[in-house]
Structure 1
Amino acid sequence: MINQPLTPKEQKVVDEFEKARPGLGAKAESNIRNNDKTGWAEIIADTPLDELVAGEGSSTNSFIYRRIGG
């Protein structure tokens, strides 16, 4: 884990995650700093600044799960 200052783009990602849900900023920063395992820093570096924004969306789950109980 590298403990150097975040780049402006990395800091924006942390801020966007924190804004989307408090507490996620710390997880994003951890993923950035553990770049050798996650690759987040390279992905952020390759992403245009205007695309580094939190968005809201939904997804559907196509799996059917059996329920236990009533």
Structure 2
Amino acid sequence: MQEPRELTPKEQKAIDEFEAARPGLGAIAETNILNNNITGWADIIADTPENELVAGEGFSSNSFMYRRLG
């Protein structure tokens, strides 16, 4: 169940970065942050330095290009 609370600036930045990477992912990220008791997302974001909360592109071992946060 979602926690009725305000998002922290770091949480909002993470949501904005997901939304910038692909429209629609911001809403999914927000749901996961607010369901921290199940997902742990808010804890992970709190432990991540703010300068690492950026969308980027990379390659996996199978050469598939993807966008990721961090």
Name the TM-score, length of structure 1 as normaliser: 0.82
Larger Rg: 1
Aligned residues: 61
Match of 2:30 in 1: 29
**In structure 2, distance between residues paired with 1:38 and 1:21:** 21
Q: CA deviation at 1:57?
A: 1.1
Give 1 or 2: higher strand fraction: 2
| CA RMSD after TM alignment | 0.9
**2:12 is equivalent to residue 11 of structure 1:** yes
Unpaired segments of 5 or more residues in structure 1?
Answer: 62-70
- Give percent identity, aligned residues only: 70
**2:53 is equivalent to residue 52 of structure 1:** yes
Deviations 1:20-62 (A, max 9, x none): 000000000000000001000000000111010011112134x
**In structure 2, distance between residues paired with 1:8 and 1:18:** 15
Match of 1:38 in 2: 39
Runs (4 or more) in structure 1 with deviation over 6 Å come to none
